Amino acid sequence: MSLFCCPVCGAPLERGERAYACPSGHSYDLSREGYAYLLPPNRKHSAAPGDDRQMARARREFLSKGYYEPLLNTLCCQILSLCGESPVILDAGCGEGYYTAGIFRALRAAGKAPRVAGTDISKYILRSAAKRERGVEFAVASSYRLPLADGAADLLLDCFSPLALAEFRRVLRPGGMFVYVVPGERHLWELKQVLYDRPYPNQERETPYEGFAYQRIVPVDGTVTLPDQADVQNLFRMTPYYWKTPRSGGERLAALETLTVTTSFRIHIFRRL
């Protein structure tokens, strides 16, 4: 049986060789890469929501070079300490599956038997995710209408993705863990200095959320040097700055041969009440 449930009737889905199906007869084809499309047409806000092909490619190429490996390693250590022997884990807004696959493999290597699913609203980026790790279930879905049953997950990861608190509370079992990754104050500060005339730091705060109890905040700080313009542009394209940078800032960035930037992440860990 799949971790996913039918987005139309809510019944459990069973994964076949070529499609998911529920007892009510609703069926969802599996793509060539192995992901399913569980976002009903009436819940789409555009023809192709989420990251486009260019952003998906930039994210895949940048992350595959290991620039954010310290964050992945820290997430694996933290999640290993939070999980039992057979955890059910959802990565909501999983992108191209870099963290999803890494966590799945770390749990398996530690002798655990995880069941892991990843959702994202972009079909383009899920093509990379599904090809990266066949042992994980992936589906196109909105974080605000997750195709999981109530209390289905032991742990939910949200890494730089929309904060859909009501849905996260719904799909997490009582006592389940919520791992939320956000940028630190100085994350990509040197990139912002190139792009903007008056950059400002990210706001860092400890925000309590209804239905969740804070456990801890884990910092992950470092620097990375991007050796060529291709990597600089890939980083730029996978950030929100790509959509709101003035032309002059984009031109300054395009003139750089290399760039050394601060990386700063904060892992907020909560327990579902």
Residue 184 contacts by C-beta under 8 Å, 6 or more apart in sequence? 202, 204, 219, 221, 264, 265, 266
pTM: 0.95
Confidence of residue 41 (pLDDT cuts 50, 70, 90): confident
Q: Domains of the chain, with CATH numbers?
A: 14-272 (3.40.50.150)
pLDDT above 90 (res 266):
yes
pLDDT for the residue numbered 43: 59
pLDDT in tens, 168-214: 999 999 999 999 999 999 999 999 999 999 999 999 999 999 999 99
Confidence label for 49 from pLDDT (cuts 50, 70 and 90): low
Percent of the chain with pLDDT over 70: 97
How far is residue 67's CA from residue 96's CA, in Å, rounded to a whole number? 15
- 46 has a pLDDT exceeding 70: no
- 191-209: buried (b, 16+ CB within 10 Å) or exposed (e) per residue? bbebbbeeeeebeeeeeeb
- Using pLDDT thresholds of 50, 70 and 90, give the confidence band for residue 53: confident
Cα–Cα distance measured from residue 164 to residue 159, given in angstroms and rounded to the nearest whole number: 12
Is a pLDDT exceeding 60 seen at residue 61? yes
**pLDDT reported for residue 52:** 78
Q: How far apart, in whole angstroms, are the C-alpha atoms of residue 11 and residue 202?
A: 41
Residue 249: partners with Cβ closer than 8 Å, 6 or more residues away: 194, 195, 196
pLDDT in tens, 5-14: 999 999 999 9
* pLDDT reported for residue 54: 86
195-203 contact pairs (CB < 8 A, 24+)? 195/236, 195/241, 195/245, 195/246, 195/249, 195/250, 195/252, 195/253, 196/245, 196/246, 196/249
Whether residue 162 contacts residue 180, with contact meaning beta carbons closer than 8 Å, is answered with no
Q: Is the pLDDT of residue 47 over 70?
A: no
45, pLDDT greater than 60: no
Model confidence pLDDT, tens digit, residues 85-125: 999 999 999 999 999 999 999 999 999 999 999 999 999 99
Query: Token pair 């620097």 is at which residue?
Result: 223
Q: Band of the pLDDT at 59, cuts 50, 70, 90?
A: very high
Mean pLDDT computed over 245-260:
96
Mean pLDDT score of the chain, rounded to an integer? 94
